[in-house]
């Protein structure tokens, strides 16, 4: 049994059904992080909670799991690459603790994926980038001055 300390549902709006958000890029920040054991009991993953900061999906939460401790070396390498992308996106290249990554804005790249177990569509974070990534400069060279003399044009 749990003491609900006089909770009154009349004072709180009920939660609604959370449909997946559309695929896209969203400004977000990490609000929570924790290491948790994996299902098999053979390692641990870093669970990161991201909160969207603006737009129609403001305050929605999404999660990423990084398998940093796993017997599969490829899985660990993938997780470390994702952590590196997060660190670069928030500007903290050598965090001492996962809380060093909290409350720093970044852009998360969200995809929609069909779950194998239920067939439902779910969100998955597939990339990270800096909040204010500069626009890519054009790679074309500036026009050269016409070296043909005017009388030969």
Residue 57 lies in a domain: yes
CA 41 to the chain's CA centroid: 26
Q: Which domain holds residue 56?
A: 19-132
Query: Shortest CA distance to 95 belongs to which of 52, 33, 26, 25?
Result: 33
Task: Identify the CATH number of the domain in which residue 104 sits.
Answer: 2.40.50
Question: What total number of domains does the chain contain?
Answer: 1
Contact 66, 128 (CB under 8 A): no
Looking at the domain assignment, is residue 24 inside a domain?
Answer: yes
- DSSP secondary structure string, 42-93? S-EEEEEEEEE-SSTTTT-EEEEEEEEE-S-HHHHHHHHHHHHHHHHHHT-S
pLDDT at 16 over 90: no
Does residue 65 lie in a domain region?
A: yes
Predicted local confidence at residue 6, as pLDDT: 82
Identify the residue with better confidence: 17 or 150: 17
pLDDT-derived band at 75, boundaries 50, 70, 90 = very high
Let me know if residue 138 belongs to a domain.
no
What is the structure's pLDDT at 17?
Answer: 65
């Amino acid at each position: 049994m749990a003491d609900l300390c006089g909770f009154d549902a009349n004072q709180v709006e009920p939660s609604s059904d959370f449909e997946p958000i559309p695929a896209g890029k969203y400004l977000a920040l990490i609000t929570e992080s924790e290491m948790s054991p994996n299902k098999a009991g053979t390692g641990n993953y870093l669970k990161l909670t991201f909160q969207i900061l603006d737009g129609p999906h403001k305050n929605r939460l999404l999660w990423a799991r990084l398998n940093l401790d796993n017997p599969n070396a490829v899985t660990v390498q993938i997780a470390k690459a994702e952590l590196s992308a997060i660190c670069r996106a928030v500007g903290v290249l050598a965090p001492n603790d996962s809380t060093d990554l909290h409350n720093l804005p970044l852009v998360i790249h969200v995809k929609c994926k069909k779950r194998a177990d239920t067939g439902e569509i779910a969100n998955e974070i597939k990339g990270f980038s800096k909040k204010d990534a500069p626009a890519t400069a054009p790679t074309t060279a500036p026009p050269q001055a016409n070296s043909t003399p005017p009388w030969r044009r």
